[in-house]
Amino acid sequence: MPRYTVHVRGEWLAVPCKDGKLSVGWLGREAVRRYMKNKPDNGGFASVDEVHFLVRRCKGLGLLDNEDLLEVALEDNEFVEVVIEGDVMSPDFIPSQPEGVFLYSKYREPEKYIALDGDSLSTEDLVNLGKGRYKIKLTSTAEKKVQQSREVIDSIIKEKTVVYGITTGFGKFARTVIPVHKLQELQVNLVRSHSSGVGKPLSPERCRMLLALRINVLAKGYSGISLETLKQVIEVFNASCLSYVPEKGTVGASGDLAPLSHLALGLIGEGKMWSPKSGWADAKYVLEAHGLKPVVLKPKEGLALINGTQMITSLGCEAVERASAIARQADIVAALTLEVLKGTTKAFDTDIHAVRPHRGQIEVAFRFRSLLDSDHHPSEIAESHRFCDRVQDAYTLRCCPQVHGVVNDTIAFVKDIITTELNSATDNPMVFASRGETISGGNFHGEYPAKALDYLAIGVHELAAISERRIERLCNPSLSELPAFLVAEGGLNSGFMIAHCTAAALVSENKALCHPSSVDSLSTSAATEDHVSMGGWAARKALRVIEHVEQVLAIELLAACQGIEFLRPLKTTTPLEKVYDLVRSVVRPWIKDRFMAPDIEAAHRLLLEQKVWEVAAPYIEKYRMEHIPESRPLSPTAFSLESLRKNSVTIPESDDL
């Protein structure tokens, strides 16, 4: 028998349906009837017949036609809301939609698993877990470690030993001993009271990353959680039931307490949850819809779920991966601009960079050589100005290896710290089964990822700063030898005039965002937590900086491709022509002014999905293979030939592909 979970004026009702041929209108009336039955005053209505309402799906928020059949309009056990005429669609029902939530209705349950052991999770793995590409299982070694650490906790409780957070209160209340019969209540109270965050909820991807990372830390076996509870948490992850986690509220010191508490709140069946099946709804109903029961916290388990740096670190993983992607593609975009501005390749000579052998600088110079005019890839544009009287180019072209290079090295440094943090135990107290004891310490302090992510923002921003100056050169006819603002009939048309202003605005905003948050500290918890990292803000603003960098480079990519239109019929090198063709597959040339924002978004999407890299990378790696030992991948932003093949990228056999 189909059953539907219906929300009416703040209450959730389970409504069984004997016949799928009944209508959406019947479901709404039945839900209102049940709502009125539970109210002493019938909810203020004389009868069901006088109630006028709309019905909408919780998933995607689409309105339903009351005459549609249930078997056609809804899936079994779907979540819907009845909105009574005159009522407001209350923000209490959906506190704040995550950005792009409409995309998540396309979620498909994965078939593949990642086995977590707490020691070997990579940034790429976590991002893929966030995208819903894998489910989670534990290794047998991890299961054994978890069981052993729980035995230590059970022994402490049995012997009534006084241990922080297990048989005592928290923070300033560390000296308050809690009676044994109240230890479970202590853990529930901890989760409820610490769920004090504000702001927009994390997107499903980011919440999934946060939950996966917390599972990985628990799998290390130093947290004292029971194997039974951990397996329940994994089941929730695998069902993609995701708690409502506000993005603001952590100071990044005694762990990311507020966001992790919101994460745990959903696990115990309280607060809001989202799943592809339900949309936003009360957590207990979302869990029930997936055949899951709320977690019943045992002593120490609430603390085990909320103490750690997983908010900072999971967002940091996304930041590192996106930074790596845009750093690779920035070299390609800059090379295309250099071609349009008729720059020289001399500044990328191997010997120049060999005498200043920074790893990132050498790699970036190599990429420029692999993409620009050479015997390997001849360029008609380069040939057209081979005998010009220009001696050298502006810094924004000539110094790309030096400027882009240090960004590559910054990313490598930050990725190393974030990867270590991914596989670190960050609880307090720590449970050491081999010693049969717990030890209080400070592994929850977020200074490592906070400092690293501040550094990442400062480093990656430079890609946008130098890109904006190249956009200026493309748009300024006295510098480019191209039509002003890259458009015909200037004056009648404004072309890239304001797109360049947008890039300048984003670069200016980044300058403020790059002020490091980790230099700040405010004492909290009655001076118990008297130095904090402010790492949550470091992570969030690093992501914002990286998004701005992507958008600025998207504008440069469009401007460079538009510049090529004025150099036709001359062609650039084969790999750069492939990049041009990719852009033109989603954005047509500007003949006259048009609505430009969608084109910028389309180019941004190409960079986000790494399409620009995928087009050019095979040529870069083929060039690399033919010039060994001249060059080899020197940074985490470089792909190897083997990794390209694993990702089904075709390696070109000749230049005419």
- The residues carrying an active-site annotation are 164
Q: Which is nearest to 339 in space by CA: 562, 589, 503, 606?
A: 562
- Dist. CA 379–CA 324, nearest whole Å: 28
Q: What are phi and psi of 329, to 5 degrees?
A: -75, -25
- Residue 276: both structure tokens together: 């592809």
Contact present, 406 and 358 (Cβ < 8 Å): yes
Task: Count the Cβ atoms, other than its own, within 10 Å of residue 320.
Answer: 29
Q: Which is nearest to 210 in space by CA: 306, 91, 69, 323?
A: 306
- Dist. CA 551–CA 545, nearest whole Å: 10
Instruction: Give the chain's end-to-end CA distance (angstroms, integer).
Output: 58
Q: Could you identify the residue written with the tokens 């409820």?
A: 192
Print burial letters for 403-432: b (CB count within 10 Å at least 16), e (below 16). bbbbbbbbbbebbebbbebbbbbbbbbbbb
Contact present, 599 and 587 (Cβ < 8 Å): yes
Counts of helices then strands in the chain (DSSP H, E): 24, 14
Contact present, 153 and 300 (Cβ < 8 Å): yes
Contact present, 414 and 538 (Cβ < 8 Å): no
Measure the CA angle with vertex 387, ends 381 and 393; round to 5°: 75
Residue 432 has what DSSP assignment? Answer: E
Contact present, 533 and 253 (Cβ < 8 Å): yes
β-pair type (3-8, 11-16) = antiparallel
β-pair type (53-57, 63-64) = antiparallel
- Dist. CA 141–CA 135, nearest whole Å: 18
Which DSSP string corresponds to 436-448? TEEE---TT--HH
Contact present, 524 and 532 (Cβ < 8 Å): yes
Sheet architecture: strand order including 53-57? 11-16, 3-8, 79-84, 53-57, 63-64
Q: What are phi and psi of 209, to 5 degrees?
A: -65, -45
Residue 173 has what DSSP assignment? Answer: G
